[in-house]
């Protein structure tokens, strides 16, 4: 923990800003019931009430407190995006390691399957599947994880291919080590840096993708608070010069920028370049 703190102190201001933003969003997600003045779905006033002492950011089209829903949106949107990204890395990363280590027909079969999935536009594929299976949180996570695992597979396989030909991997093979040992003890530690950086970038893409689906009505469903659907539900206020609908969009943008700052710093460190 002390070493991590020292690394953060030596990080550039942009990376420190990114870490602060991420920590703030995690805090909002965890403590949402404590920090929000009203319930997530509680109707507390008239529709489109202005900002005042009681409603800090006014109310939405149904009379729900925007400030409270903005806080709860951090839990829902970020939580689902993180879970989907993590699952995508488990699926795509494991498949990529297996393809690199086994090669031959296993590599060819997995690669061609990924090619087929990547040939279909991601948004159209997601809209098609979600319209068939329904838009529950579980189906949303599974569909996005499946779609994003193809990108993770490509990166993991490409990076692992440069490692499996090294002498230490061949020595482990000659010792009789199994596939799991080779993947977790030999290949994965030597590919961790680019994969961690890709995790941050992929999280941003998933985060934005979920917000886009919610804006279109096929993401996180009402009455659950979600930043994408909050923009859609209150977009009419922009006509009257009210910036309230832009606040969820700003929340999305700030987190995306913060994560990218951290990812840039991690890529710089893993590259071995000096400041």
Return the pLDDT at 74. Answer: 86
Q: Indicate the fold that domain 24-36+58-270 takes in CATH.
A: MetI-like fold (1.10.3720)
Return the pLDDT at 59. Answer: 87
Return the pLDDT at 150. Answer: 92
The whole-angstrom separation of Cα 27 and Cα 240 is 33
Percent of the residues in the chain that have a pLDDT greater than 70, as a whole number = 96
Q: Per-residue confidence at 182, pLDDT binned at 50, 70, 90?
A: confident
Give exposure, 214-240, as e/b (b: 16+ Cβ within 10 Å).
bbeebbbeeebbbbbbbbbbbeebeee
Report pLDDT digits (tens) over 105-143: 888 999 999 988 888 888 888 888 888 887 788 888 999
Report pLDDT digits (tens) over 184-227: 888 888 888 888 888 888 888 888 888 888 888 888 888 888 88
Q: How far apart are the first and last CA of the chain?
A: 24
Return the pLDDT at 10. Answer: 77
Least-confidence region, from 98-112, 152-166, 259-273 = 259-273
| pTM greater than 0.75 | yes
Contact 247, 174 (CB under 8 A): no
Residue 22: half-sphere exposure toward Cβ, Cα within 13 Å? 18
Tell me the Ramachandran region of residue 104: left when phi exceeds 0, alpha when psi lies from -120 to 50, beta otherwise: left
Q: Per-residue confidence at 89, pLDDT binned at 50, 70, 90?
A: very high
Question: Rounded to 5 degrees, what angle do the CA atoms 182, 188, 194 make?
Answer: 155
Return the pLDDT at 15. Answer: 86
Report pLDDT digits (tens) over 70-79: 999 888 888 8
Helix, strand, coil shares of the chain as percentages rounded to 5?
Answer: 75, 0, 25
Per-chain mean pLDDT for the chain: 85
Q: How far is CA 81 from CA 15, 58, 130, 150, 205, in A?
A: 21, 27, 16, 16, 9
The whole-angstrom separation of Cα 273 and Cα 261 is 17
What are the boundaries of each domain within the chain?
24-36+58-270
Residues forming a β-bridge with 43: 64
């Amino acid at each position: 923990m002390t070493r991590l703190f020292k690394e953060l102190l030596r990080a550039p201001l942009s990376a420190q800003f990114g870490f602060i933003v991420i920590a703030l969003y995690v805090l909002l997600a965890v403590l949402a019931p404590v920090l929000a003045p009203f319930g997530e779905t509680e109707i507390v006033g008239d529709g489109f009430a202005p900002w005042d002492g009681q409603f800090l950011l006014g109310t939405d089209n149904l009379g729900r407190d925007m400030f409270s829903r903005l806080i709860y949106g951090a839990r829902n949107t970020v939580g689902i995006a993180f879970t989907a990204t993590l699952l995508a890395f488990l699926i795509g990363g494991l498949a990529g390691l297996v393809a690199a280590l086994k090669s031959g027909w296993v590599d060819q079969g997995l690669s061609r399957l990924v090619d087929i999935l990547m040939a279909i536009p991601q948004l159209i594929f997601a809209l098609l599947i979600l319209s068939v299976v329904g838009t529950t949180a579980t189906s949303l996570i599974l569909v996005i994880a499946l779609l994003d695992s193809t990108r993770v597979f490509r990166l993991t396989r490409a990076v692992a291919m440069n490692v499996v030909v090294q002498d230490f991997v061949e020595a482990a093979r000659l010792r009789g080590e199994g596939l799991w040992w080779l993947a977790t003890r030999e290949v994965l530690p030597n590919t961790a840096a680019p994969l961690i950086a890709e995790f941050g970038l992929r999280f941003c893409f998933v985060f934005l993708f979920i917000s886009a689906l919610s804006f279109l009505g096929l993401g996180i469903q009402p009455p659950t608070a979600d930043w994408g659907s909050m923009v859609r539900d209150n977009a009419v206020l922009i006509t009257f010069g009210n910036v309230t609908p832009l606040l969820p969009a700003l929340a999305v943008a700030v987190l995306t920028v913060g994560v990218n700052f951290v990812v840039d710093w991690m890529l710089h460190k893993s590259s071995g370049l000096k400041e």
